[in-house]
């Protein structure tokens, strides 16, 4: 009796993303990837999605819920750029190339309230590994992120005041932003650049800002009393 072995096939692209076009700056666009790829001879739950290549004009991140967030990093017009998303299953992969473009945008320097920062399903802004830039209200905030450390600025909408220790590091001790706003910035000024500048590079005078402790820092200071 001859046994026939069927070779495992790589996953395929079944619902490709349409070209991504940015019309504003700063701007983040989100896309669900749950139905974009299919591996007909393996369980799709075990398929791993990664950003394989990304043009310098954007950043791209895929979270645990297979939600793709693409953020524009320049107000200058660009076209003909390619974002590549890879699906890997059982050691085999397929790449999806997505065209990305953006028109020129005149930046208005206003108030950074962080309501315009796209957050992950965990309620925080999650950048790519390495040095990043977060934008709000025409201002740019530096960030560094790795799997074991982050520094600079991020944004959050966490309001639960029950977490302790490092689980509390992304929560304002007030549980909200100024005047009860849902989103706010969180800064960690040790080990990474913590800088703010106008997104268009122009010199600006900052008239003021509102600051409170974060929950983790508050808990640590309370223990010293």
d(CA 36, CA 19): 14
What phi and psi, each to the nearest 5 degrees, are found at residue 156? -150, 155
| Mean pLDDT, range 74-94, rounded to an integer | 94
The reported pLDDT for the residue numbered 173 is 96
pLDDT at 83 over 60: yes
Give the closest residue to 137 by CA, choosing from 79, 207, 60: 207
**Mean local confidence (pLDDT), 115-134:** 91
Position 3 scores a pLDDT of 57
Q: What is the pLDDT of residue 6?
A: 60
Give residues with Cβ within 8 angstroms of 158, minimum separation 6.
Answer: 123, 124, 170, 171, 172, 175
Is residue 40 over pLDDT 70?
yes
CA distance 133 to 141: 6
DSSP 3-state of 98:
strand
In this predicted structure, what is the pLDDT of residue 12? 94
Q: Helix (H, G, I), strand (E, B), or coil: what is residue 154? A: strand
Give the confidence band of 2 by pLDDT, cuts at 50, 70, 90.
low
% of the chain at pLDDT higher than 70: 96
pTM: 0.64
Q: What are phi and psi of 59, to 5 degrees?
A: -120, 150
Instruction: Kindly tell me if the per-residue pLDDT of 140 is higher than 60.
Output: yes
Q: What percent of the chain has pLDDT over 90?
A: 71
Encode pLDDT of 142-199 as tens digits. 999 998 899 999 999 999 999 999 999 999 999 999 999 999 999 999 889 899 999 8
What are the structural domains of the chain? 12-102 (2.60.40), 130-224 (no CATH)
pLDDT(4) > 60: no
Answer whether residue 1 shows pLDDT above 70: no
Where residue 123 falls among pLDDT bands split at 50, 70, 90?
very high
User: Does the pLDDT at position 27 exceed 90?
Assistant: no
Q: What value does the mean pLDDT take over residues 58-79?
A: 91
Return the SS3 of 84.
strand
């Amino acid at each position: 009796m001859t046994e026939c072995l069927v070779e495992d096939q790589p996953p395929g692209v079944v619902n490709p993303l349409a070209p991504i076009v940015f019309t504003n700056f700063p701007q983040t666009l989100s896309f669900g990837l749950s139905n974009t790829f299919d591996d007909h001879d393996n369980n799709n739950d075990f398929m791993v999605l990664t950003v394989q290549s990304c043009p310098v004009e954007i950043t791209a991140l895929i979270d645990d819920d297979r939600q793709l967030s693409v953020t524009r990093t320049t107000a200058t017009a660009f076209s003909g750029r390619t974002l590549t998303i890879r699906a890997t299953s059982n050691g085999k992969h397929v790449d999806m190339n997505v065209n990305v473009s953006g028109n020129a945008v005149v930046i208005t320097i206003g108030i950074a309230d962080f309501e315009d920062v796209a957050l992950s399903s965990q309620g925080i802004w999650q950048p790519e590994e390495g040095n990043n830039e977060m934008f709000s209200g025409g201002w740019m905030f530096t960030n560094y992120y790795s799997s074991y450390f982050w520094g600079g600025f991020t944004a959050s909408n966490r309001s639960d005041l029950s977490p302790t220790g490092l689980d509390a590091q992304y929560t304002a001790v007030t549980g909200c932003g100024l005047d009860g706003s849902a989103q706010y910035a969180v800064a960690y000024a040790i080990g990474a650049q913590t800088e703010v500048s106008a997104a268009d590079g122009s010199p600006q005078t900052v008239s003021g800002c509102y600051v409170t402790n974060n929950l983790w820092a508050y808990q640590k200071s309370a223990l010293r009393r």
